[in-house]
Amino acid sequence: MKITMKYLGLVIAIMTLTFTSCSKDGEIGPIGPAGANGTNGIDGVDGQDGQDGEDGNANVTASDWFEPTESSYSVNNPRYKALPLATNLSSSLLEDGVILVYYDNDTDVYLLPNHIFAPDGSILKSVDSKTNRAARTIYINIQRSDSDLIPSEYLWDQSGPPYNRGVRFRYVIVPSNAASGKKATIDYKKMSYEEVMDHFGLDY
């Protein structure tokens, strides 16, 4: 009987421990204070600047080579010729743009004006461009002081012998918005013909 009572007491003790360990959890305690902020890391090294993009020619006005004939000239005197190279141009282009007029004598290309001087410093021959803003026209003026102009000095003959086919002209107008900012530091009139063509991606 004593042994039975001992076993009974042991069973009751085990059951009590089991129910106690499986009892419902208590309420969640309050949230603790936030921890201190960590130290900021060291900033990374700045990357290198990218290369500047190439200049485009979307706003640049450029003509093809104009090959004059006798009838092209509005004034056709023996020692003086006047050629209207471009007409009905935009007033804003003529007022604010950079106007470059080129002269090809079948040997080299020159930015106008172009002069040939006598030994005493006087001008024997002048090839120049003038802009008439009222008429919105660019004119070519060819003048010789010592003799009459010969055809190869004011005409172009495509079938003529190489380096002696005559003269022809073209123009490039850079608008003010394309000549601002970074490009404002560029003096196109100090660049060679090839440099200007390459700069704007134009055909020679």
Q: What percent of the chain has pLDDT over 70?
A: 69
- Both structure tokens of 34: 């936030």
**With contact defined as beta carbons under 8 Å apart, do 174 and 98 qualify?**
yes
With a CB cutoff of 8 Å and minimum separation 6, the contacts of 135 are: 87
Element (H, E) at 5: helix 2-21
Domain assignment present for 47 = no
> Looking at residue 59, what is its pLDDT?
85
pTM score of the predicted model: 0.70
| Ranges 17-21, 50-54, 185-189, most confident | 185-189
> Looking at residue 185, what is its pLDDT?
76
Q: Round the average pLDDT of the chain to a whole number and report it.
A: 83
Domain assignment present for 151 = yes
> Looking at residue 176, what is its pLDDT?
80
Nearest to 162 by CA among 203, 120, 104, 82: 104
How many structural domains compose the chain? 1
How does DSSP classify residue 160? S
Q: For residue 143, give Cα distances in angstroms to 107, 129, 135, 138.
A: 19, 12, 22, 16
Instruction: Round to whole Å and give the CA distance between 15 and 24.
Output: 16
Domain assignment present for 48 = no
> Looking at residue 155, what is its pLDDT?
98
Domain assignment present for 28 = no
> Looking at residue 22, what is its pLDDT?
47
Q: What is the pLDDT of residues 70-125, one digit of tens each?
A: 999 999 999 999 999 999 999 988 998 999 999 999 999 999 999 999 999 999 99
Domain assignment present for 176 = yes
Domain assignment present for 134 = yes
Domain assignment present for 41 = no
Which domain, by its residues, includes 170?
61-200
**Residue predicted with more confidence, 1 or 38:** 38
Residue 54 pLDDT greater than 80, yes or no: no
Instruction: Round to whole Å and give the CA distance between 106 and 168.
Output: 8
Q: What is the pLDDT of residues 140-182, one digit of tens each?
A: 999 999 999 999 999 999 999 999 999 999 999 999 876 555 5
Instruction: Round to whole Å and give the CA distance between 195 and 102.
Output: 13
**With contact defined as beta carbons under 8 Å apart, do 111 and 139 qualify?**
no
Q: Based on DSSP, count helices (H) and strands (E) in the chain, helices before strands.
A: 3, 9
> Looking at residue 64, what is its pLDDT?
97
